[in-house]
Every structure is written in structure tokens, then in C-alpha cells.
Structure 1
Amino acid sequence: MIYELNHVGGRIRDLDASLAFYGETAGAEVVDRLFMVSANVDRVHIQIATGLVELLHNREPDPDATYGLNHVGFMTDDLDADYTRLIDAGYAELSAPRVAGSGQGRLAFLSDPNGVRIELLQRTEEFRVPPITSGPVRRLSYVALSAPDLDAAIEFYGDHLGMERWTPDRPDDAVYFRLGVDAVKLLPTAGTPVSHLGLEVADPGSDLQDPDGNRLRFVPAA
């Protein structure tokens, strides 16, 4: 069973620059850090208030790499069964279940109906810590995803991932689903698969972009 929206993640160019940006603008803290020797990649989980962001940094520059947030990770207690169920339902296979490069459990990747990469994880490690309250962000309100085929996205996240349809305190025309403490916002427009992060703050200011072009939208606290 899929039971938690665990993180949003992607590749970054400069680890120090990303950590400084998220620390200064969002009060993020590093909650997990390791080096995957086989891939030559630093994997760092930062927590922004309530939510996890996974930063993947290759120590060898790759001129062909695409940088930015590119996937959403979900926890499952039965990776093989959930992966098979979703592939049998017609969703595109990207990477079959395998041992994670970190050695921490197993993972698999598939595509949602609009091309968003979905990671399924089964592991015993828990990186999330109690909500971080020292920074300006009160919670990671949502991860905004491109969903031009909105009906298909609603079926995928609601019926197949088991997320709950959710209405925020200040509703808009988008469709929201949540699982655990985190939520996705489905945007019926085409764009980058992960459009932006919605961060709840007491005093919203202008949107910002991190060093890799990921957009942060500050939304007013209820």
C-alpha cells in the first residue's frame, strides 16, 4: 500500500549554493546526507518546515544533464505489488524495482499520465524530523505538478495512489490531493512536470527561483 508522499526531488548543479539558498530563504535544514560511491552522487535531504526535498548532486559535471526538480517520491509497504498494479493499469514503466543506489531499501520509477516521474520507495529509514519552526516557512503547502490531462491525473493520484482530495483554506481553481502531511496541486496547463513549490508563510512576498530555476511560491498562512 502507498501510504506517504515522502519528498520532491531532482538534480542540482551546485550543492553549496542550493543549501545556502534554501537555508536563507526558507529556513531549510539538512536532515540526511550521504555519498553514493557507485554513482558519484551526493544525496541530501533538506526539510522545509514539514516537507522533504531531495537534492542529487553529481560530483562530475555532466554537460547533457537537465537540472531541477523532476520527481515525486511515495513510500509503500509493498513495492513490488504496488509497482505491478500501476504498470498493469497502463502507466509507463521507467525503472523496475531494484535496490536503491544508497543501499537503503528498494525503489522503482514510473510515469504519471502527464509525464511526471513517480518514485516508489520501500525502506525502513525515516528522514523526516518534527516540523522545523525556526524559519519563515510554516509548512510545505504543496508540490505543483503539470496536469494538462487533468481527468487522467485525478484518476491516477486519487484512485491509484490512494490520495485524498483536499481543499486548501484559500481555495482556487486547481485540484489538490494529499497523503500524509504533504499535498500535490494539479495544474491543468502544460509546463515543466514539477511547476513549483508552494510554501506557507505569514507574510508572502514575490516568487523566487532557486539556483537551478525551480520556482518557490509563497502563499499566505491561514
Structure 2
Amino acid sequence: MIYELNHVGGRIQDLDASLAFYDDLGAAVVDRLFMQSSRVHRIHLQLATGLVELLHHEQPDAEAAYGLNHVGFMTDDLDSDYARLIGLGYGEISSPRVAGSGQGRLAFLSDPNGVRVELLQRSEEFRVAPITSGPVQQLAHVGVPAADRAAAAEFYGTYLGMEQVDADTFRIGPDAIKLLPSATAPVLGLATAEPRPNAVDPDGNQLVFLAAS
């Protein structure tokens, strides 16, 4: 069963620049490791209530695309959930395997609009108590591209078991997915106590600031 929206993540160009940017928003590094086989630094930042995964490859790649590119969900039965979703016709990207970090197992598939969805089964818990010392009070949602809104709603609501909060928002645990028909990549929706202009991070990811409730 899928039980948690664990993180949103992607590849970054400049590790120091990304860490500095999110530090200014009050984010804290809650997990950091170096994967020797792929020469990749993996960092989980907790931004208020949610996790952002940064992947920094030591070897430059002129062909690489940078920015947020997937959403990760926790499951207590990776093989069963993966087989069920593939059986429903969702696109296979990589079948269940041991994670490069050695921390559990993972698989990737595609949602109806081409968003990469990671399924994770592991025992480690990186999330800590909400961090509200900075300007961001809550990671309100992860916005995902959804040109076909109806198909996305069926995927996240019916087949991933998320609770539908409103026409475009689906929640599981403390975190939410928001369907964005005009988006081309994941967007971070961040709630702040004070009004703040929208921004982009060093890799061009969009950050939309909302009034904290």
C-alpha cells in the first residue's frame, strides 16, 4: 500500500548554490550521502514540513537536464504496488531494484502526463519535526504537470489512494499533490507567514509562495 508522499526531487548543477538558496528559506539538511558507484551526492532537505531531494553528479554532463523531475512515494509493498500500476497501463521506467544508496528498494513509472513517479520501500525515515524557524511555514503542495487533469486525478486519487481535497489537490499524510494543467515541470507551493514574491531556484525550478493558513 502506498502511504506517504515522501519527496520531490531532481538533478542540480551547483550543489553549494542550491544549498545556499534553500538555506535562506529555512531548509535543513536531514540526510546526506555519496553514492560511490554513480559518483552522485544525494541530499534530502526538509523545507518546513516536506522533503526535497537534490542529486548532484560529480561528472559534468552537457546533455543532462536539471531541475525537479520526479515525485517519490513510500509503499509497504513495492512489488505489488508497482505490478498493479503497470498492469493498469501506466508507463514502466525501471522495475523494482535495490536503491543505489543501498537503502531499501525503488522503482520508477510514469503518470498519465509523463511525470516520473518513484515508489520506495525502505526503513529509513529522514523527515523530522516541522521546521518553521525560517520564512516558509509549510510545503503546501507539489504541483505536477497535468494537461489531462481527469487522467491525473484518477491516477493520484483512485490508484495511489490520495484523498481529494478540492478539484485539483490530493493529499496523503502531511503532503499534497496539486494538478497544474499549464506546468511543464514540478512546482513547489510554499506557505509563508508574510507575503513573498514567487521565485526560481538555481536550476530554474518554480517556487510559488502562498499565505499560510
TM-score, structure 2 length as denominator? Answer: 0.98
Match of 2:207 in 1: 216
Alpha-carbon distance in structure 2 between the residues aligned to 1:77 and 1:162: 13
Alignment of 1:2 onto 2:2: yes
From 166, 169, 179, the counterpart of 1:176 = 169
> What is the match of residue 68 of structure 1?
67
- Corresponding position of 2:93: 94
Deviation at 1:131, TM superposition (A): 0.3
1:210 maps to amino acid: D
Deviation beyond 2 Å, 4+ runs, structure 1:
none
Q: Report the alpha carbon displacement of residue 133 of structure 1 after superposing the two structures with TM.
A: 1.7
Bigger drift between 89-98 and 199-208 goes to: 199-208
SS of aligned partner of 1:18: helix
Task: Name the structure 1 match of 2:105.
Answer: 106
The DSSP-based 3-state class of the residue aligned with 1:109 is strand
The residue type equivalent to 1:3 in the other structure is Y
Any conservation in 2 of the 1:115–1:193 contact (CA below 8 Å)? Answer: no
Distance in structure 2 (CA, Å) of the matches to 1:90 and 1:31: 36
RMSD: 0.8
Alignment-mate amino acid for residue 203 of structure 2: D
- Structure-to-structure mapping, 1:34-49, within 5 angstroms: 34-49=33-48
2:179 maps to a residue whose letter is: L
**1:205: Cα distance to partner?**
1.4
Give per-residue Cα distances to partners, 1:133-161, cap 9 Å, x unaligned: 21111110000111010100000000000
Deviation per residue, 1:163-222 (Å, 9 max, x gap)? 00014xxxxxx6000111000110123x4231x101000112111110000011110011
1:4-83 aligned within 5 A: 4-24=4-24, 26-83=25-82
1:205 counterpart SS class = coil
Distance in 2, matches of 1:3 and 1:215, equals 26
Q: Find the residue that maps to 2:150 and give its secondary structure.
A: helix
Identity of aligned residues (%): 69
In 2, Cα distance between equivalents of 1:184 and 1:86: 18
SS at 1:144 equivalent: strand
Task: Give the corresponding residue for 1:145.
Answer: 144
Task: Please report how far the alpha carbon of residue 16 of structure 1 lies from its aligned counterpart in structure 2 after TM superposition.
Answer: 0.6
User: Letter of the aligned partner of 2:54 in structure 1?
Assistant: L
Amino acid at match of 2:192: V
1:188 matches 2:187: no
> Could you tell me which amino acid in structure 2 is paired with residue 150 of structure 1?
R
**Contact 1:17-1:211 within 8 A present in 2 as well:** yes
- Report the Cα distance in structure 2 between the residues aligned to 1:204 and 1:39, rounded to whole angstroms: 41
- 1 CA distance for matches of 2:212 and 2:117? 28
Residue 198 of structure 1 corresponds to which residue in structure 2? 189
Give the deviation of 1:36 after TM superposition: 0.3
Counterpart residue identity of residue 64, structure 2 = A
Instruction: For residue 19 of structure 1, report the CA deviation from its aligned partner.
Output: 0.3
Aligned length: 213
In the alignment, which residue of structure 1 is the partner of 2:154? 155
**Counterpart check, 1:119 vs 2:118:** yes
Mapped to 2, the partners of 1:204 and 1:107 lie a distance apart of 38
